[in-house]
Amino acid sequence: MDPIKVDFSGRGGADKSREIVIPPEKAVLKVILSIVLALVTGGIVYYFMLPPLNFKAIEFYYFLGIVIASFVVFLTVLSGAFKHSEYIPYIKKKAIVPAILIGVLVAVVLVGFLVGCQFFRARSYGKLMSVQTDRVFSQDIKEPDFDTVPKLDTEAAAALADKALGDLSKQGKVSQYKNYEGTAASSNYPQINYKGRPTRLAMLQYGNIIKWITNMRDGLTGYIRIDAANERQQFQELDNPIRYSLSDHFGRHVKRVVRFAYPTYIFDAPSFEIDDADHPYWVVPHLDKTLGLFGGRDVAGIVIVDAVTGKCAYHTIDEVVNDASLRWIDRVYSDDLIIEQFNYYGKYPEGHGFWNSILGQENCVKSTDGSNYIALDDDVWLYTGVTSMNTDSSIVGFVLVNQRTKETRYYGGITGSTELAAAEAARQLVAEKTNYTASFPLLLNIGGSPTYFTPIKDTNNIIQMYGMVNVEEFNKVKVTGDTISGCLESYLDAMKRANVSYDQSAENIAVPDETAPGADPGTDAEAPAADAQTITGVVAEIRSAVIEGNTVYYLRLDGESAYFAVSAAESETAVILNTGDTIRANVTGSGSIRQMTKLEIV
């Protein structure tokens, strides 16, 4: 055996290039196993991460990087390099190709960002949205019919949706479901137009993973429909339950359904909608990156997922805009995408490029913080104010964008308060009610004058008052009222006192009867039930359940097989009842569980 030669000169730099590579035992087998394990890891990561297999999606590069890096990790572990340092040169050699691949991915990403960055493509970003600037506010925005003016924001809709969960008691599903609590904005209580009514939808989700396992065969038995104008809610029970949702798991999760059906598509967040026959669907926008690899996202089409069967259908954006059979769809362009594209339009106005947005900022504008919705022509239009790049204390106009077609109308030359400032001004008028908050305002046309209309809520997000603030004369004309009619009357008086001119037609604006129950004939939730009756009986049995923090009592009377449900929030008498008490009450409905009101002990 030749003696081992050791260099003690300290100059061994030349020998580093001849580093001894010692392969581990069964090296080829371990390489193959590492590849297999990396592919298995990739499958698991893909199942949960759901990246588009598309070079225009940054998530795709993260996914490839994880798979490549996992090969090196598995090979290191299988070779025992953590314990036997003599194998490290072998690992380094085998990692050269993965390192090159990751380097290529990084280079592609950097070049992709570079060719699509705003510095080089500013004017192209400014043209992503086509904006009409010759619109007239008083012509496009008619004077309101308060019977159809939406009053509910997301929080107020959530408060009403919680009340509707009591209807689940009729199905024996108390505490099995709750209202959806996801983080995607477009998925929480979306506003649509339903049979000419502004409507918020509330999806259900399973109470927890155990309740999903025990109820998955039954699915989600319905959804909650909330009239955003008259603030009435109704649980819509379905003959065929929802089996594909954002709260389902594995192959029944909506995002997994569309990913496996269209593995290369880039998707925006799914939006829950219903057609005129009350059938539930998920509308999932298909996005394209139009500038470079990663810039200029826009909607190329939509995937409609049947929430009952999971069946998918794809439609191009042209079909969505022009096909009359698809008019029931309201939400194609998300709020975030609309605001993003309008801000590009405002940041890079026609004839100006990148440096103008930084230095001179000539004709540069941006959206204000927040947005709301207006119903026009049976479509939902997103509304937001527009302010200059240098200030957020006042507006220079506002913009309306159709969420189905992306038609955009900009109304310039209207100066005044921002929405948040107007909401705060209305709240300050009732400052003695320290726990009240004002919703983000809705823009209305009152006598040809742009007006902010803001509901004022209590700590339970229940609307208690209304405020109106004149956009242009916000310091002089701002009022509140306990009712819409009272608020409108005070507002017109305030405009007269401030010498703000308005069309006399404003004095004839229709306001629904706010005192008579069931005054709105356009809602599904009619107040007086056709089968209402008064009963008297002796309480034989009392049961209770806590639903969304509210105790509901279920009473059975002597000689009756049905139970009568009454909420403690609606009747304090229910709390002190004992078996043997004789009661009188109004009851409605039919079946094994009926609803009870006006409960009293006799």
Percent of the chain predicted with pLDDT > 90: 57
pLDDT at 51 over 90: yes
Read out DSSP for 370-387?
--EEEEETTEEEEEEEEE
What pLDDT score does 528 carry?
39
Q: Give dist(CA 405, CA 416) in Å, integer.
A: 29
- Identify the pLDDT of residue 1: 43
Q: Is the pLDDT of residue 7 over 80?
A: no
155: burial class by Cβ within 10 Å (0-12, 13-18, 19+)? middle
Higher pLDDT, 576 or 8: 576
**pLDDT at residue 519, as a whole number:** 39
What region, left, alpha or beta, does residue 163 occupy, with left being phi > 0 and alpha being psi -120 to 50 degrees? alpha
Lowest mean pLDDT among 2-6, 350-354, 395-399: 2-6
DSSP class of residue 253 equals B
d(CA 191, CA 277) in angstroms, rounded, equals: 17
Question: What are 121-176's pLDDT values in tens digits?
Answer: 999 999 999 999 999 988 888 899 898 899 998 889 988 888 777 666 666 666 78
Domain ranges of the chain: 17-115, 146-332, 418-511, 533-601
Span 196-217, mean pLDDT?
89
CA distance 539 to 412: 66
Partner residues linked to 398 by β-bridges: 385, 411
Structure confidence at residue 82 as a pLDDT band (50, 70, 90) = confident
**pLDDT tier, 188 (very low <50, low <70, confident <90, very high otherwise):** confident
**pLDDT score recorded for residue 187:** 59
Report d(CA 272, CA 278) in Å as an integer: 12
How many H helices and E strands in the chain? Answer: 14, 27
pLDDT reported for residue 72: 95
Q: What's the rounded mean pLDDT across residues 261-289?
A: 96
Question: Tokens 């590579």, residue?
Answer: 21
Q: Which amino acid is at 362?
A: E
Task: Give the pair of three-digit tokens for residue 91.
Answer: 């690992």
For residue 303, the one-letter residue type is: V
Give the DSSP per-residue string, 195-252: TTEEEEEE-EEESSHHHHHHHTTT-EEEEEEEETTTTEEEEEEEEEEE--BSS--GGG
**What whole-number distance in Å separates Cα of residue 168 and Cα of residue 204?**
11
Instruction: Identify which of 402-411, 431-440, 492-501, 576-585 has the greatest average pLDDT.
Output: 402-411
One-letter identity of residue 107: A
How far apart, in whole angstroms, are the C-alpha atoms of residue 400 and residue 418? 15
3-state secondary structure (DSSP) of residue 485? helix
Q: What CA–CA distance (Å, rounded) separates 456 from 470? A: 16
Under CATH, which number does the domain 533-601 receive?
Answer: 2.40.50.140
Nearest CA to 426 out of 500, 371, 472, 481 is that of 481
Residue bearing the bigger pLDDT, 600 or 492:
492
Specify the pairing of strand 463-470 against strand 478-481: antiparallel
Q: What is the pLDDT of residues 293-312, one digit of tens each?
A: 999 999 999 999 999 999 99
Q: In this predicted model, what pLDDT tens digit does every residue of 364-385 receive, in sequence order? A: 999 999 999 998 888 999 999 9
Where on the phi/psi map is residue 120: left (φ > 0), alpha (ψ -120 to 50), or beta? alpha
Q: What is the dihedral of CA 302, 303, 308, 311, to 10 degrees?
A: 150
Phi, psi angle pair for 392, to nearest 5° = -130, 20
Whether 531 has a pLDDT exceeding 60, the answer reads no
| Percentage of the chain lying above the pLDDT 70 cut | 89
Per the CB < 8 A criterion, the answer to whether 331 and 192 are in contact is yes
307-311, 435-439, 529-533: the lowest-pLDDT one: 529-533
Beta bridge partners of 179: 204
